[in-house]
A and B are shown apart, each in its own frame.
Chain A
Amino acid sequence: MALLLTIFASFLCIITGLFVYLKNPKNWSNTIFSIFALVLGLWIIADFLPLISTSEQWALFWLRINMFLAAWLCYTFFLFVYAFPRAKMDFSLRYLTESFIFVSLVSVLSLTPLVFSDASVTGGAIIPSPGLAMPLFALNVVLFLVGGFAQLVRKYRLAFHLEKAQLRIVLIGALLMFSLILANNFFAVVLLKNTELIVLSPLYILVFVFFVAYAMVRHRFMDLHLVVVRTVTFALLTLTLAIIYVAGTSVFFILSGEAVLPLNQIVIQIFLTLIIALTFQPLSRIIEKVTDPIFFKGHFEAQHLLKLVSQTLPTTILIKELSETVLETISREIRSRDSAIHLTDRRGKIVDTYDSGPSRPLPLSEKDFGLIYKRAQSQTLVFEDLEEGELKEVMRAAQLSLVFSLKVKGELVGFFVAGEKSSGDIYSTEEISVLEILMPEIAVALSNAKSYAEIVKFNITLKEEIRKATLKLKMANEKLKVLDKIKDDFVSVASHELRTPMTSIKSYMWMVLNNRAGEVPEKMKNYLERAYRATERLISLVNDMLNVSRIESGRVELTYESFDPVILSEEVVAEIKPKADERGIYLKVEKASMGDVFADRNRVKEILINLLGNGLKFVTQGGITIKFSAKGGLVSSKLPGESGSLRSNQKNQSSKFKAAAKEFVEISVTDTGPGISDEDLQRLFKKFGRLENSYVSVATNGGTGLGLYISKSLVELMGGKIGVGSKLGEGSRFWFTLPAAGDE
């Protein structure tokens, strides 16, 4: 009896220690507690063994082991108290080492005659006699126990809530246990020479274990709450089974008149029963695993299906992929032969279908379909549960076993249908329930996928519309370009057409004026001369208009080259000289070595002709001087190809142009004419037109009013600037700049 108790108590201790350690191996508190429990378990045995020892020597031996373990027991208790509840040991290494050495010393001494010198038999019991080192041992016990308890109390005071509750229990339990043990082992044995009470030690241990267990269950001490509960439940189960078995067999034997089995046989039978009870569950699981694949039945794990489908749903936003994956997953798990998802509009009309499994012809009319789906909107249809009737017939024909509706916010999205199971079984309530849980999730996912598909479609449509619109724009633009060209061509052709009769007029008039048709009287000559000049002006105007038209539509072709502006100026002067001489005006070119400019030679000639022509018109005495100077500065903001509507086609070396565009040559045309008023200055470079609310014309004295506008446009196209400075009565100074040609 006592042996059983001892073994049981020891067993419990060791198991507890094991559980605690395994629960959280990395945690120091757990580890120390488990060591403590282990040592305690061993100590219980060692405490008992002296009592059944056959000789004094053996008794002494076991006693010594007892002391050895006791020393460690106190130490581990102490350590545990210090560590709990922290995961790491925060003891200083020095103390740890010192105390460890001390305990080792004491425990080793315990094995020597120094602690227990020997044992003697007194009154039937073996009593040990303390040796020289006993005080040391006592010191060990006292030191660690007292220290441990002191710390325990302190911690208890400082802790709160759960920890406090745990510590309270442990404190009481440990206090009880240790005091009882001390009373038992120490005082009774040493002082009263009574070893009888030693047998009760296990009980005290049990008390402690009980308290610890209570702390574990009630206050989650060491987090073994569940383990303890399960273990206790299990122990109760086995106990009950054992009792039932014994009672049952006993009754049987009594009734049948046979002899009651001897105790050891009963024990064996109880033992076997327990084994069967224990192994039933795992065994059935193994057998199930083996037969499953054979019978297709498989074990429907609701959680598994829920998890699978929930994981699948967010993986794709594409409706086809989503439907097919969901169908495949569900079919596989519930082992249906086939299944399908029908997407519908709100009223239940089928829009799209996806299926898994062999597709089968649906020999149903739309009416029959409608019947199924109308009913399915309000409830899940399970074939087996339906009463015989039209609906069931229809479902039989369609080979549908399950019909679920998919709804989002009460609105119908579609239907999920499944055929019968591959194994021929019916669907379990559990399976149907799980599917019903899943349907709303699936409905939402499908609804999202549908929305996404619509967005994609819309996007495509949008892109197509944009493409169409862009194409239309392009075509309109092309048309405009063509129109532009036509307009330009028109102007060109118009100018040509205009010039043709004018050439006739001018040429024949010239003939007459130059007496090729005979002598012309003075007055006639006078009149004809005016007409002739008017013709010239007309021709000039047509030319200017054509120029302006070209400039404004950006169809000016410039041919760049390097040339000396001085030489060009001299050329122009030479051409105009006759006219100037007629009026008694001088034309001067102030030579300078400026180097070349980089521009369109012909256009610059035009500009010079224009400026000189203007000068000639107004100057009555004196003359016109052309001067040159160098100008630094930035490139004109209007680079070729950048000047808004003005486009120029550079034929050569645009890079050269850009490189050279750091310096400019300024060409000025200064005259000794009457000068220009401030008012007129404003209007100079504009096209002929009227100022607002004024009928003052821009063109004066036979000019076309376009010359300066054209000159300005051309200068700017070539990268230069144009301007004028003048004061009434002081003449005028027209200037324009051209980029200097760079070094090559």
Chain B
Amino acid sequence: MNGKKLLIVEDEQDIRELYSEILRGEGYEVTEAWDGEVGLKTALSGRFDIILLDVMLPKVDGLKILKEIKKKPELSKIPIILLTNLGADAVIKEAFTLGAEAYVIKSEYTPDQVINEVNKVFTQEATA
């Protein structure tokens, strides 16, 4: 256990479960949310060290959640990685504008690369 609390908001069960499994394998304490509404509530209530956020979600979409989280001053510092399969540059651009830390294209990234991406956040933090 590295003690880091991780929230993953992803409606696709396969992916959510896979990512949760491998990240737990890395030592993260993973909390899962399966739709936008639950995700937002969870994010706002709990204290997480990192959030993995899918864009296409039922009820509330990922970008909106991102916005909401960043609005709260006590939560705005939490690094958020966007998960997406949308190929639109516009989405990515907006994500960064809203303050996302990084993004992962699910269909491109191997599980390894996903782990890397997550770890990178903390190593950067360490060096920052």
Q: Give the interface of A toward B (CB within 8 A).
A: 492, 495-496, 499-500, 502-504, 506-508, 510-511, 514, 516, 539, 542-543, 546-547, 557, 559, 602
Say yes or no: B56 contacts A504, CB within 8 Å.
Answer: no
Which candidate, B32-40, B65-73, B83-91, is the interface stretch facing chain A? B83-91
A534 to chain B, nearest CB (A): 14
Known contacts A492-B87, A496-B85, A502 near B107 by CB under 8 Å: yes
Interface pairs A-B: 10 shortest CB-CB: A504-B14, A499-B85, A499-B107, A503-B106, A503-B107, A539-B107, A496-B85, A510-B110, A546-B87, A507-B18
Q: Which of B98-113 contact A (CB under 8 A)?
A: 106-108, 110-112
Whether A496 lies near B14 (C-beta < 8 A) is no
- A-B interface pairs (CB < 8 A), number: 57
Contacts of A510 in B (CB 8 A): 110-112
Report the nearest B residue to A505, measured CB to CB. B14
Beyond the given A503-B85, A507-B14, A547-B87, please list 12 additional residue pairs across the A-B interface where CB-CB is below 8 A.
A502-B107, A503-B106, A503-B107, A504-B12, A504-B14, A507-B18, A507-B111, A508-B18, A510-B112, A511-B22, A511-B111, A514-B111
CA distance A602 to B15 in the complex (A): 27
CB<8 Å pairs between A and B, sample of 21? A492-B87, A496-B85, A496-B86, A499-B85, A499-B106, A499-B107, A500-B12, A504-B12, A504-B14, A504-B18, A507-B110, A507-B111, A508-B18, A510-B110, A511-B22, A511-B111, A514-B111, A514-B112, A516-B111, A539-B107, A557-B89
CA distance A546 to B15 in the complex (A): 22
| Bound: A559/B15 CA distance, A | 32
Contact of A543 among B15, B87, B111 (CB under 8 A): B87
- How far, in whole Å, are A304 and B126 apart by their CA atoms in the complex? 112
Nearest A residue to B11, CB-CB: A500
**Which residues of B are found within 8 Å of A546, using beta-carbon distances?**
87
Asked whether B88 lies within 8 Å of A492 as measured between CB atoms, the reply is yes
Which of chain A's residues have a CB closer than 8 A to the CB of B56? 496
How far does the alpha carbon of A17 sit from the alpha carbon of B90 in the complex, in Å?
A: 108
- What is the bound-complex CA distance between A47 and B86, given in angstroms? 134
Task: Tell me the minimal C-beta distance from B88 to chain A in angstroms.
Answer: 6
For the complex, what is the distance from the CA of A514 to the CA of B56, rounded to whole Å?
29
- Assembled-state Cα–Cα distance A507/B19 (Å): 9
- Assembly CA distance A528 to B29 (angstroms): 31
Report whether over half of chain B's contact residues are helix, strand or loop; otherwise say mixed: loop
* CB <8 Å contact, B111 and A495: no
- Map CB proximity to A onto B33-65 as digits: 1 under 8 Å, 0 otherwise: 000000000000000000000001000000000
By a CB distance below 8 angstroms, the chain A residues around B107 are 499, 502-503, 506, 539, 542
Task: Report the nearest A residue to B25, measured CB to CB.
Answer: A516
Minimum Cβ distance to chain A for residue B108 (Å): 7
Interchain CB contact under 8 A, A495 and B108 = no
Interface contact A557-B18, CB-CB below 8 Å: no
Contacts of A508 in B (CB 8 A): 14, 18
Chain A residues with Cβ below 8 Å from B89 are: 557, 559, 602
Question: Please, how many angstroms separate the alpha-carbon atoms of A503 and B13 in the complex?
Answer: 12
Name the CB-closest residue of A to B19: A507
Query: Which chain B residues lie closer than 8 Å to A492 at the CB level?
Result: 86-88
Please report the total number of B residues contacting A with Cβ < 8 Å.
18
Determine whether the beta carbon of A511 is less than 8 Å from that of B18: yes
CB closest residue in chain A, given B89: A557
Closest B residue to A506 by beta carbon equals: B107
* Cβ contacts under 8 Å, B14 to chain A: 503-504, 507-508
Q: How far apart sit A506 and B108, CA to CA, in the bound complex (Å)?
A: 9
Taking CB atoms, residues of chain A closer than 8 Å to B88 are 492
Interface-central residue, A500, A508, A539, A546, by most chain B CB under 10 Å: A500
B11 to chain A minimum Cβ distance, whole angstroms, is 9
- Contact call B108/A539, Cβ cutoff below 8 A: yes
Measured between beta carbons, the chain A residues less than 8 angstroms from B106 are 499-500, 503, 507
The answer to whether A500 and B85 touch across the interface, beta carbons within 8 angstroms, is yes
How distant is B34 from chain A, measured CB to nearest CB, in Å?
A: 14
Please name all residues of chain B whose beta carbon is closer than 8 Å to the beta carbon of A502 when the two chains form the complex.
107
Separation of A495 and B106 alpha carbons in the complex (Å): 13
Contacts of B18 in A (CB 8 A): 504, 507-508, 511
B112 neighbours in A (Cβ, 8 Å): 510, 514
CB-CB under 8 A from A514, the residues of chain B are 111-112
CA distance A557 to B93 in the complex (A): 12
Smallest CB–CB gap between A309 and chain B, Å?
Answer: 76
Q: Shortest distance in angstroms between A297's beta carbon and chain B's nearest beta carbon?
A: 93
Could you tell me the distance in whole angstroms from the C-beta of B85 to the nearest C-beta in chain A? Answer: 4
Contacts of A602 in B (CB 8 A): 89
Return A155 CB to nearest CB of chain B, in Å: 107
Inside 8 A of B108's CB, which chain A residues have their CB? Answer: 539
Inside 8 A of A500's CB, which chain B residues have their CB?
12, 15, 85, 106
Q: Which residue of B lies closest to A603 (CB)?
A: B89
Q: Report the minimum CB–CB distance from A558 to chain B (whole Å).
A: 10
A507 contacts which chain B residues (CB < 8 A)? 14-15, 18, 106, 110-111
Bound form: Cα–Cα A510–B22 in Å: 12
Question: Which residue of chain A lies nearest to B18 when distances are taken between CB atoms in the complex?
Answer: A507
Please give, as numbers and ranges, the residues of chain A lying within 8 Å of B111 by CB-CB distance: 507, 510-511, 514, 516
How many angstroms between the C-alpha atoms of A546 and B85 in the bound complex?
12
A81 to chain B, nearest CB (A): 109
Of B12, B87, B110, which contacts A495 at CB under 8 A? B87
Distance (Å) between the CB of A498 and the closest chain B CB? 9
Shortest C-beta distance, B24 to chain A (Å), equals: 12
Considering the complex, give the chain B residue whose CB is closest to the CB of A539.
B107
Min distance, Cβ A556 to any Cβ of chain B, angstroms: 10
Q: A35 to nearest B CB, angstroms? A: 108
Closest-by-CB residue of B relative to A546 is B87
B residues near A516, Cβ cutoff 8 Å: 22, 111
Residues of B within 8 A of A495 (CB): 85, 87
Hey, which chain B residues are within 8 Å of A559, CB to CB? 89
Smallest CB-CB separation from A559: which chain B residue? B89
Task: Identify the interface centre among A496, A503, A543: most chain B CB within 10 Å of its CB.
Answer: A503
Chain A residues, Cβ within 8 Å of B85: 495-496, 499-500, 503
Chain A neighbourhood of B90, CB < 8 A: 557
A503 touches B87 (CB 8 A): no
> Could you say which residues of chain A place their CB within 8 Å of the CB of B86?
492, 496
Inter-chain contacts of B22 with A (CB < 8 A): 511, 516
Q: What is the distance, in angstroms, from A197's C-beta to the closest C-beta of chain B?
A: 133
- B125 → chain A, closest Cβ, in Å? 25
Roughly how many angstroms separate A499 CA and B107 CA in the complex, as a whole number? Answer: 6
Chain A CB within 10 A, most for which of B12, B106, B107, B110: B107
With A492-B86, A546-B87 already in contact, the answer to whether A503 and B110 are too (CB < 8 A) is no
CB proximity of A554 to chain B, nearest CB, Å: 15
Q: What distance in Å separates the Cβ of A315 from its nearest Cβ neighbour in chain B? A: 67
Query: Whole-angstrom distance between the alpha carbons of A506 and B15 in the complex?
Result: 10
Closest A residue to B88 using CB positions: A492
Nearest A residue (CB) for B108 = A539
In the complex, the chain A residue whose C-beta lies closest to that of B14 is A504
Q: Shortest Cβ distance from B105 into chain A, in angstroms? A: 9
Residue with the highest number of chain A CB atoms closer than 10 Å, among B87, B89, B90, B112: B87
A504–B87 touching, CB < 8 Å? no
Q: How far is the CA of A516 from the CA of B90 in the complex (A)?
A: 35
Q: Cα distance A499–B14 when bound, in Å?
A: 13
